[in-house]
Amino acid sequence: MKPSLLLAFSVACTGVIPASAQSRSLSSFFRVLRISTNEQMSPLSYPPNIAMTPSAGDQPNSDVSSGIIISDVMGKTQSIAIFSGLTRDIDSVSDRLDDPSKNATVLAPDNGAMRSLSRKPWEDPKEYETLGENAYNGQAGEDRAQRNMRRFVEAHIVPESPWREHQKIETLAGNIIWFESKGGLKLIQPGGIEVLSIADKVANGEVWVLKDIINYS
């Protein structure tokens, strides 16, 4: 995970720039500032011939047969901009999404879910209990934060696509999840997390937009 990631999430979700921002990369800061102010942004460089209109629901997408992959399209859906930014900074995830030989289903919480988290993705209540309020200070604290953030992002990556209904599968973080259709909704289990839409279907997988986050503890 890049050092700017914790700052990026804080700015994107709150609009508040921590004092430590002075030591961070300005380019990273302005990138996430555009997210927090809901500006239209293009975090990736797209070839001019790529269609940028997201697919709706479960309708077929021509991107599946065009050779476009998940890393090409992750940044173009504004409703998941915060989570998309995190995936680019977790090497285990970004490397997979950039590999056309490895399929994946990305379960991306929308911006509202990310902003309403009861705790930041890099925080663990158990670490506050054992280490106190300075649990994430210093190099050891930064290492803990990086590990926790990686676990959060990896919990939202299913290393398979297509992903069949009721198929129990292990995410990159190691938790077992599945999905089912109920009452006209697609729900991720356990937890009954609603899938709002399928933002993209491309050659190496799909991007699903979620109403809430996957349990990553």
The CATH number of whichever domain residue 67 belongs to comes to 2.30.180.10
Q: Tell me, what's the pLDDT at 163?
A: 96
Asked if the structure places residue 67 within a domain, the reply is yes
The pTM of this model reads: 0.74
In the predicted structure, residue 153 carries a pLDDT above the cut 90: yes
Q: Tell me, what's the pLDDT at 82?
A: 95
Arithmetic mean of pLDDT, 137-158 = 95
In the predicted structure, residue 194 carries a pLDDT above the cut 60: yes
In the predicted structure, residue 200 carries a pLDDT above the cut 60: yes
Whether the CB-CB separation of 150 and 94 falls below 8 Å is answered with no
Question: 171 CB contacts (<8 Å, ≥6 apart)?
Answer: 154, 155, 156, 157, 158, 159, 177, 214
Any idea how long the chain is? 217
Asked if the structure places residue 52 within a domain, the reply is no
Query: How many distinct structural domains can be found in the chain?
Result: 1
Asked if the structure places residue 100 within a domain, the reply is yes
pLDDT digits 0-9 by tens, 96-122: 999 999 999 999 999 999 999 988 999
Arithmetic mean of pLDDT, 162-188 = 96
Asked if the structure places residue 142 within a domain, the reply is yes
pLDDT band, residue 162 (cuts 50/70/90): very high
Measured N-to-C along each axis, helices 138-154 and 5-14 cross at an angle, to the nearest 10 degrees, of 70
pLDDT band, residue 19 (cuts 50/70/90): very low
Q: Dihedral sign for Cα 20, 25, 30, 31, please.
A: negative
Asked if the structure places residue 80 within a domain, the reply is yes
Asked if the structure places residue 86 within a domain, the reply is yes
Asked if the structure places residue 191 within a domain, the reply is yes
Asked if the structure places residue 200 within a domain, the reply is yes
Q: Which residue has tokens 């999430």?
A: 9
Greater model confidence, 209 or 47? 209
Summarize the chain as % helix, strand, coil (round to 5).
Answer: 40, 20, 45
Q: Tell me, what's the pLDDT at 145?
A: 93
pLDDT digits 0-9 by tens, 71-84: 999 988 999 999 99
pLDDT digits 0-9 by tens, 37-67: 343 333 333 332 323 333 334 444 545 556 8
Whether the CB-CB separation of 166 and 180 falls below 8 Å is answered with yes
Domain of residue 140, residue span: 62-210
The single-letter code of the amino acid at 186 is: K
- Alpha-carbon dihedral of residues 203, 155, 93, 186, nearest 10 degrees? 20
